[in-house]
Amino acid sequence: MENYTLILIIMALMIGVSGIADKIKIPVPVLLLIAGIAIGFVPSIPDIELNPEIVMLLFLPPLLYDAAFNISFKEFRTNLNTIGTLAIGLVFLTTIGIAAIVHFIIPGMTWPLAFVLGSILSATDAVAAIGITKGLGLPHNTITILEGESLVNDASALVAYRFAAGAVTGIAFVFWRASFQFLIVLGGGILTGVIVSFLVAQTLRLFRKNDLVVISLLLLMPFVTYLLAEHFKVSGVIAVVILGLGMSKLSRERFPDAIKQQSRHFWDVIIFLLNGLIFLLIGLQYPVVLKKMNPAQVWPFIGYAAIITLVALAIRMVRVYLQQFNLKKAFQSTRNNPASHPNTEIHRPRRNRRNPDHPRSRDNRRISEEALFDSKTSFILSWSGMRGIVSLAIAIGLPVTIEDGKPFPMRNEIIFLSIAVVLISLLGQGLTLPWVVRKLSPPKQPLTAEPSRSPKSN
């Protein structure tokens, strides 16, 4: 009964704080974080320690499904080069960069432990960025890159974490084997998502006239898909993303308008509650972890967390600006000499040989140019790279012991650093991100709200 009451209190607080944040024009995630930290220090409030498996199962599948369902596949394909660069290459680059800095500045942080911490903090949380910038008029191209990155980078970070944690617990790291397993994990996730999407599509045909059954089945399947993929040791994240993309296509082609409308309102409520709970629970974790730290270590480790946050931001900024430069260079190269890049699809404008001014030729040129972005967009993309729920869940899920039964080295310190980095990035970048977006928006471009992000007709 006490747990039940506590859950109701947390839900009520989340809804109330969200309403207050909207009234006083403070980003909802930021105010929820502050409220969670403050509530956690109240003496009468019991410690709330999250179960990482529950966090990954309860929050990740519906949020990933929602993002995949609503993302524009056309824009996703146009920005695939940038999304892949940020979601895979940048994740591993950030892991290495954070590992290098913490190994040299934190006493006792061995290379395996440094890579564990680096992998935990390598993935960004677009849920936070989109929640904070909602209504600020971010271009759809920017939103697509942020959301597309978040659909894949969680899988990359989880794979990196598995190998890093394995090295600590006694499993030898072999590069070719790790690379092969990474491909198996991603490929298996894609295959799982495709199979489940096909089966769900066939099942829905039997109940297409029953709105409640269809909506309930769509709610259940992200969780089933995630569990099924994880059972076979492949990426549940990628499987859910593929499911979301498949259901989005099916919705556009087959769902009646009544089901689309009901589904939209239903998912609006679900995503609102889950987003709010995520940030409130992140705030509640800080006092719990703080109590387990040696008081003499608290301020030095907060300083380390600030350094890690700056290093991660710098790495992201360098990589994003380098991607901007590479895209521009590739586009100019293919425009001046298309024959030299016969395999470049995104950047090469394909023209109608008989009539270069044919509408199809101009449309292909337009899509190619949409893959480019300017320096202002690069800064917004860089500043939006905040850490969030996935980093928190991975950190809390660190093994308690290693293979020989000894305690996992520096476990409390790694968890504290992870939560501190999440809080610093969300509060620091989160409070300033709306200002950055407004400052860098074109002066004559009106700020309009983004379309609803609940699963519905595209």
Residue ranges per structural domain of the chain: 2-336+343-440
- In which element (H, E) is residue 114 found? helix 111-120
Q: What is the DSSP letter of 351?
A: -
The pLDDT score that the predictor gives to residue 105 is 95
Answer yes or no: CATH 1.10.110.30 is held by domain 2-336+343-440: no
The pLDDT score that the predictor gives to residue 390 is 83
| CA–CA separation, 174 and 163 (whole Å) | 9
- Exposed / middle / buried, residue 406 (Cβ in 10 Å: 0-12, 13-18, 19+): exposed
SS3 state at 418:
helix
Specify whether the CB–CB gap between 165 and 399 falls below 8 A.
yes
| Structure token pair of residue 185 | 């994990």
Number of H helices, E strands in the chain: 20, 0
The pLDDT score that the predictor gives to residue 171 is 65
Comparing CA positions, the residue from 360, 370, 357 lying closest to residue 331 is 370
The pLDDT score that the predictor gives to residue 28 is 83
Query: Which amino acid makes up residue 339?
Result: A
Q: Is the dihedral of CA 374, 379, 384, 387 positive or negative?
A: positive
The pLDDT score that the predictor gives to residue 170 is 66
pTM of the model: 0.82
420: left (phi over 0), alpha (psi -120 to 50) or beta: alpha
Q: What is the pLDDT along the chain (458 residues), one digit of tens a residue?
A: 556 777 788 889 889 998 898 888 788 888 888 999 998 888 877 777 777 777 788 888 998 898 888 887 788 888 888 999 999 999 999 999 999 999 999 999 999 999 999 999 998 886 777 777 776 777 888 888 988 888 888 888 888 888 888 778 766 666 667 778 888 988 999 999 999 999 999 888 888 778 888 888 889 999 999 999 999 989 898 999 999 988 888 887 777 777 777 888 888 888 888 888 888 888 888 888 888 888 999 999 999 999 999 999 999 999 999 999 988 888 787 677 655 544 444 444 444 444 444 444 444 444 457 778 889 999 999 999 898 888 888 888 888 887 777 888 999 999 999 999 999 998 998 889 888 888 887 554 444 444 444 444 43
SS3 state at 401:
strand
**Residues in CB range of 91: below 8 A, 6 or more apart:** 122, 123, 153, 156, 157, 160
Residues linked to residue 407 through DSSP beta bridges, in sequence order: 401
**Residues in CB range of 117: below 8 A, 6 or more apart:** 98, 99, 102, 109, 308, 414, 417, 418
Report how far Cα 381 is from the mean position of its chain's Cα atoms: 13
| Structure token pair of residue 439 | 């400052």
